[in-house]
Amino acid sequence: MILSTPHPKATTNSMLRHASEQPDPPESAADRHVTTPFQVKGPHAPTRRRLDYIASVVLAVGLAMAAPTSSLASAACPALLNHSIPRLQDEVPQNLCQYAGKVVLVVNTASKCGFTSQYEGLEKLYDRYRNAGLVVLGFPSGDFGGQELSTNKEIAEFCSNTFAVRFPMLVKSSVRGKEANPVFAGLIRESGTAPKWNFYKYLIGRDGRLVKVYSSFTAPDEAAFVQDVERSLKKGS
């Protein structure tokens, strides 16, 4: 269910109008002698309680103006991407929300697998469609047969030197079971399908929703798979 959030200006105007319509509370003798920068005198001179009330409204308005910005920013990032995971090359945390609005292909990779040659096809797919809004995210893992290299440095060098991989790669992690990284944990919950081997592929649309899951046997240049990618790129573009 999508909840409608009032525009900050509408909320602010309503609060200020409400403040101006409030009657003065009962005042004491001390309240009647409030010095203001404007030195307003007579029946319309503000009381101390009135000034305190206005100050509280101004503070509330400031908070109201600030709060929607953060909440809307959070709402704009789909749950499947709302994670920070270190980059493979230097282990600097990467906020995956930077890919919100793009078509994202998530792949669990391995360097010593019979499907490792798919790196070449994935790089070609990324290079062909990246300007149209496609990003490929590689998640190295040794979950299947221990077919991944030991360190992130070794994996990064292998990907670069062997297949000239330029699409984003994240640090080595688990992609199944209780130890699955948060991205794959979310994909498994969403799809009901955990990867059964290396190079499983999860296609996420521009709206942040899972489109389809593909097995290791689906090659990156397979016609039906490429068509799914192209259709996803056209939606919402």
Catalytic position from the list 77, 97, 113, 159: 113
Q: What gap in Å lies between CA 89 and CA 24, rounded to an integer?
A: 64
Q: What gap in Å lies between CA 46 and CA 11, rounded to an integer?
A: 25
Residue 55's identity, in one-letter code, is: A
Closest Cα to residue 177, out of 137, 152, 144, 140?
Answer: 144
Closest Cα to residue 147, out of 91, 109, 107?
Answer: 109
113 counts as catalytic: yes
Closest Cα to residue 210, out of 227, 232, 195?
Answer: 232
Query: Which residues are identified as catalytic?
Result: 113
